[in-house]
Structures are given as structure tokens and as C-alpha cells.
């Protein structure tokens, strides 16, 4: 069984999380510059067995797609053409940034550490992945 990778896509930075090989536990992996994301994924997928990619789906409270979905659609096309054999699924990502920030507070991180937007993105990706695992 391979891992599941989750992506919290952003205009500037993208958070990435990964499961263990049994697909039980979601853990933050890293945050990469969005312009380097495909290259990072190629490198990672060459080394690791990945069964599926989960991409966060930003929605508004009324269940309509948020503005950032317009940035994700071209990325999904590139992802599909680059990795045609790996299934891609979507996971609602509403409130993940707020939950990530609260997680940082709850874990006792200092204010300076909580201002690290890359860490927020990585934690958000982990929350997206855990929500996906819980749903399935």
C-alpha cells in the first residue's frame, strides 16, 4: 500500500502532508514555493510509493467555489497530465487555516512561531488529509 499525499494549494506557498504507508496517520511534510511544486512532486514521487493525491477544495460558506479555485483548476490539469496514473481527489478545506492557527496556539507555539505562514500551510495540508482519511 502506498502513501496518500495532500496539497493545500496557495498562490505563493503550498503546504504538503503525507500519510504513513498504511494510510492511517496524516503528518505534515513541508511547504514549498508554488512555482516549484510540480518539480518537488516529481522528485518525491520518484522516491516514494504514492497511491493518491488529495487537493484541498476551497469553498465559501454557501458551498460555492471560492475565488482561489480559479488558481487551482490549471494546477489540477497540470497535475493530471504530469501524473496520469495517480488518482486525484478533492477535500473541502473550509476553516483549515483557522484550525491550523488554533492548533499552533494549543500546542504552545510562541507568537513569533505562529506568524510562520509556511507552517500554517503545512498544518492546513495535514488537516485536509486527516479530514479525507476520516471521510473514507
84: domain CATH number is 3.30.420.140
Q: How many domains does the chain have?
A: 1
For residue 40, give its domain range. 3-135
CA pseudo-torsion sign 45, 50, 51, 55: negative
Please tell me the pTM assigned to this model: 0.86
Burial of residue 99 (number of CB atoms within 10 Å: 0-12, 13-18, 19+): middle
Q: Return the SS3 of 12.
A: coil
Mind listing the pLDDT tens digit of every residue in the chain (136 residues)?
Answer: 899 999 999 999 999 999 999 999 999 999 999 999 999 999 999 999 999 999 998 877 676 767 778 889 999 999 999 999 999 999 988 666 666 667 767 777 677 766 667 777 888 899 899 999 988 8
Note whether 128 and 6 are within 8 A (CB): yes
Amino acid at each position: 500500500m502506498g502513501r496518500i499525499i495532500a496539497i493545500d494549494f496557495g498562490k505563493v506557498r503550498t503546504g504538503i502532508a503525507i500519510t504513513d504507508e498504511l494510510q492511517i496517520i496524516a503528518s505534515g511534510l513541508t511547504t514549498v514555493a508554488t512555482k516549484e511544486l510540480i518539480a518537488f512532486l516529481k522528485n518525491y514521487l520518484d522516491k516514494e510509493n504514492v497511491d493518491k493525491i488529495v487537493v484541498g477544495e476551497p469553498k465559501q460558506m454557501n458551498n460555492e467555489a471560492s475565488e482561489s479555485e480559479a488558481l487551482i483548476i490549471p494546477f489540477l490539469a497540470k497535475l493530471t497530465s504530469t501524473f496520469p496514473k495517480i488518482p486525484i481527489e478533492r477535500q473541502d478545506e473550509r476553516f483549515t487555516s483557522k484550525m491550523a492557527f488554533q492548533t499552533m496556539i494549543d500546542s504552545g507555539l510562541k507568537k513569533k512561531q505562529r506568524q510562520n505562514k509556511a507552517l500554517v500551510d503545512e498544518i492546513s495540508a495535514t488537516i485536509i488529509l486527516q479530514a479525507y482519511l476520516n471521510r473514507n
